[in-house]
Amino acid sequence: MANSAVSWKLLDHPKLPKGKPVAVIVLDGWGEANPNEYNCIHTAETPVMDSLKQGAPDKWRLVKAHGTAVGLPSDDDMGNSEVGHNALGAGRIFAQGAKLVDLALASGKIFEGEGFKYIKESFETGTLHLIGLLSDGGVHSRLDQLQLLLKGAGERGAKRIRVHILTDGRDVLDGSSIGFVETLENDLAKLREKGVDARIASGGGRMYVTMDRYENDWNVVKRGWDAQVLGEASHKFSSALEAVKKLRAEPKANDQYLPPFVIVDENGKSVGPIVDGDAVVTLNFRADRMVMIAKSLEYENFDKFDRVRYPKIHYAGMLEYDGELKLPSHYLVSPPEIDRTSGEYLVHNGVRTFACSETVKFGHVTFFWNGNRSGYFNPQMEEYIEIPSDVGITFNVQPKMKALQIAEKARDAILSRKFDQVRVNLPNSDMVGHTGDIEATVVACKAADDAVKMILDAIEQVGGIYVVTADHGNAEDMVKRDKSGKPLLKNGNVQILTSHTLEPVPIAIGGPGLSPGVRFRKDVPNGGLANVAATVMNLHGFEAPSDYEPTLIEVVDN
């Protein structure tokens, strides 16, 4: 549906009033799991979240936050922020990037599209470069998709291919990069047997090289640029396997933070800088951590760092990463068309909105919430505030992050009475959970709970309503488990889980403004994050559009 044809007017809810301020709090990476020593949310002192749970089943329940409930290919896929916030904001389940790329590869359509044709123009005389996250995590990219893309490019005339790897250790176990490099090297060897000159050219850890987001730290992208485009890095190796093994041993970096390296030939020359006439594909399907590199590859005028050399290339993203910026202008697979989000509807219906987080999650409650669209729907009705995140540290060092500052901004926005919806993301349990540092994650969870308290107190003061939920699990389970749920041992030690989980997440409603008869329905037992948007619309006094996933609440006469 073209937006101009949309009827934006929402029906009045037959029973619920308008004009109550609603706080929507998303705890990032806060799932529900059995209490045990690896459940940091359980270990942490979290009196506010504990008390909300006492409201079950009428005011507290669980919702699905992973797999097909959020548009991922299968129920073995853990949840993540992109698909979680997309579902929360859009109120419907869209087939997400991971799935769309799978389908395009399976049907072969990816090779017939405009994006592939565009990069193919370089195959005869140039090199095809593939840059992206090397793992089977399925959050940003997937190894099997890279393998199919490599094979397909080889079959369709790519003569020289260079892969620039970003090691993971965040969506998969730390140390697993070695196995992924081995697998990739096997594939590249097979391509070489078929006459394609295919090699890994550079690499680095995803959190230190290339995959920054929301412009938190351009140095991260610059490090990638230097290695990938200029072929320069202080660490030089003759193979990627050697690089990863050596850098893990000295300077003892983990997969997420491997320093940038380049692969060099016998003469010490980089085997794959990006030069005029080459083609480049950024192979991640997920948007947030590709927007910055896409800008650096695509924009003629660019001042975020000195690129030294700006090659004339044919660049395509795996997907279009920003629907509003139309970035990049060429892509292999069309992104999900997440239209008519709840944010856009509410703004059209007079709901004034405030959204806030710190940089590392800022786009989650704005860009992802609004269907991968940056910017305001109506600047007169909305205000988005970004609190600068700490830069250059791993968040176990500062596990409280900016939770307090986010809560203060939300509190002030609520007390100002200038807004009908005040929406925040509290990053702690996720960002610190990803470090695998259990003690710090416990501190992080408490900090998030403190922040929730401050916001709920403000809602209490203005007679408002709160909705507290999360986007996926993380901190509630910090250990890799076998199928039966027992911690998996390796060389006698448990393996720390840095990734998200498959667990459901809580949702709680309440506040003095909540009409007395409101409670969670019993007839949406499989409710997921996509059911939250209709719920929030109801709390603003509106019926949700008929094609939205059903609301989680009902109003009973007391």
Ligand X SMILES: O=C(O)[C@@H](CO)OP(=O)(O)O
Active site residues: 81
* Residues 251, 169: Cα–Cα separation, whole Å: 16
* Residues 283, 133: Cα–Cα separation, whole Å: 8
Q: Is 212 in the site for ligand X (CB under 6 A)?
A: no
DSSP category for residue 339: -
139: partner contacted, choices Mn ion, ligand X, none (Cβ within 5-8 A by kind):
ligand X
**Part in contact with Mn ion (CB under 5 A); list of ranges 78-86, 105-113, 195-203, 248-256:** 78-86
**103-109 LR contacts (CB < 8 Å, sep 24+):** 104/332, 104/333, 105/145, 105/148, 105/149, 105/152, 108/152
The nearer residue to ligand X, 80 or 535, going by C-beta atoms, is 80
Q: Is 81 in the site for Mn ion (CB under 5 A)?
A: yes
The nearer residue to ligand X, 140 or 352, going by C-beta atoms, is 140
The nearer residue to ligand X, 204 or 464, going by C-beta atoms, is 204
278: partner contacted, choices Mn ion, ligand X, none (Cβ within 5-8 A by kind):
none
Cα 515 to chain centroid, rounded: 34
171: partner contacted, choices Mn ion, ligand X, none (Cβ within 5-8 A by kind):
ligand X
Instruction: State in angstroms the smallest separation of the CB of 245 from Mn ion.
Output: 27
**For ligand X, which residue of 92, 222, 289, 314 counts as binding (CB under 6 A)?**
289
Q: Is 217 in the site for ligand X (CB under 6 A)?
A: no
127: partner contacted, choices Mn ion, ligand X, none (Cβ within 5-8 A by kind):
none
Question: Are the C-beta atoms of 280 and 298 separated by less than 8 Å?
Answer: no
* Residues 434, 168: Cα–Cα separation, whole Å: 11
**For Mn ion, which residue of 16, 20, 24, 28 counts as binding (CB under 5 A)?**
28
Residue that the structure tokens 């009705």 belong to: 381
The nearer residue to Mn ion, 202 or 469, going by C-beta atoms, is 469
Burial class (CB in 10 A: 0-12, 13-18, 19+), 304: middle
Sign of CA dihedral 33, 37, 38, 43: positive
* Residues 499, 184: Cα–Cα separation, whole Å: 22
The nearer residue to Mn ion, 420 or 471, going by C-beta atoms, is 471
Question: Are the C-beta atoms of 63 and 527 separated by less than 8 Å?
Answer: yes
Instruction: State in angstroms the smallest separation of the CB of 475 from Mn ion.
Output: 10
Could you count the other beta carbons within 10 Å of the beta carbon of residue 333?
A: 24
**For Mn ion, which residue of 471, 476, 477, 503 counts as binding (CB under 5 A)?**
471
Instruction: State in angstroms the smallest separation of the CB of 343 from ligand X.
Output: 19
Question: Are the C-beta atoms of 463 and 18 separated by less than 8 Å?
Answer: no
> Which H or E run contains 205?
strand 197-205
Which of left, alpha, beta for 460 (phi over 0: left; psi -120 to 50: alpha)?
A: alpha
Q: Is 342 in the site for Mn ion (CB under 5 A)?
A: no
Instruction: State in angstroms the smallest separation of the CB of 330 from ligand X.
Output: 24
> In the range 30-69, which residues lie near ligand X by CB under 6 A?
none
Instruction: State in angstroms the smallest separation of the CB of 140 from ligand X.
Output: 6
Which among 89, 26, 96 is positioned nearest to 505, based on CA atoms?
Answer: 26
373: partner contacted, choices Mn ion, ligand X, none (Cβ within 5-8 A by kind):
none
Instruction: State in angstroms the smallest separation of the CB of 59 from ligand X.
Output: 26
First to last CA, the chain: 41
Q: Is 80 in the site for ligand X (CB under 6 A)?
A: yes
The nearer residue to Mn ion, 270 or 499, going by C-beta atoms, is 499
Instruction: State in angstroms the smallest separation of the CB of 171 from ligand X.
Output: 5
Q: Is 226 in the site for ligand X (CB under 6 A)?
A: no
**Part in contact with Mn ion (CB under 5 A); list of ranges 74-82, 314-322, 455-463, 528-536:** 74-82
> In the range 375-404, which residues lie near Mn ion by CB under 5 A?
none
* Residues 2, 4: Cα–Cα separation, whole Å: 5
* Residues 132, 96: Cα–Cα separation, whole Å: 18
**For ligand X, which residue of 52, 139, 318, 448 counts as binding (CB under 6 A)?**
139
> In the range 399-438, which residues lie near ligand X by CB under 6 A?
430
Nearest-CB residue for ligand X? 81
Residue that the structure tokens 């990938």 belong to: 228
Residue that the structure tokens 């230097």 belong to: 226
Kindly report the backbone phi and psi dihedral angles of residue 406, in degrees, each rounded to the nearest multiple of 5, phi listed first. -65, -45
64: partner contacted, choices ligand X, Mn ion, none (Cβ within 5-8 A by kind):
none
Q: Is 171 in the site for ligand X (CB under 6 A)?
A: yes
Q: Is 170 in the site for ligand X (CB under 6 A)?
A: yes
Residue 353, strand partner residues: 382, 421
> Which H or E run contains 5?
none
The nearer residue to Mn ion, 285 or 331, going by C-beta atoms, is 285
Copy the structure tokens of residue 284: 């991640």
Number of residues that bind ligand X (CB under 6 A): 10
Which among 343, 322, 342 is positioned nearest to 331, based on CA atoms?
Answer: 322
Q: Is 430 in the site for Mn ion (CB under 5 A)?
A: yes
* Residues 268, 458: Cα–Cα separation, whole Å: 62
The nearer residue to Mn ion, 429 or 535, going by C-beta atoms, is 429
Residue type, position 549, single letter: E
**For ligand X, which residue of 43, 81, 270, 398 counts as binding (CB under 6 A)?**
81
Instruction: State in angstroms the smallest separation of the CB of 148 from ligand X.
Output: 21
The nearer residue to ligand X, 97 or 464, going by C-beta atoms, is 97
Instruction: State in angstroms the smallest separation of the CB of 395 from ligand X.
Output: 11
* Residues 251, 155: Cα–Cα separation, whole Å: 39
Could you list the residues that contact Mn ion (CB under 5 A)?
A: 28, 81, 430, 471
| Residues within the interface to ligand X (CB under 6 A) | 28-29, 80-81, 139-140, 170-171, 289, 430
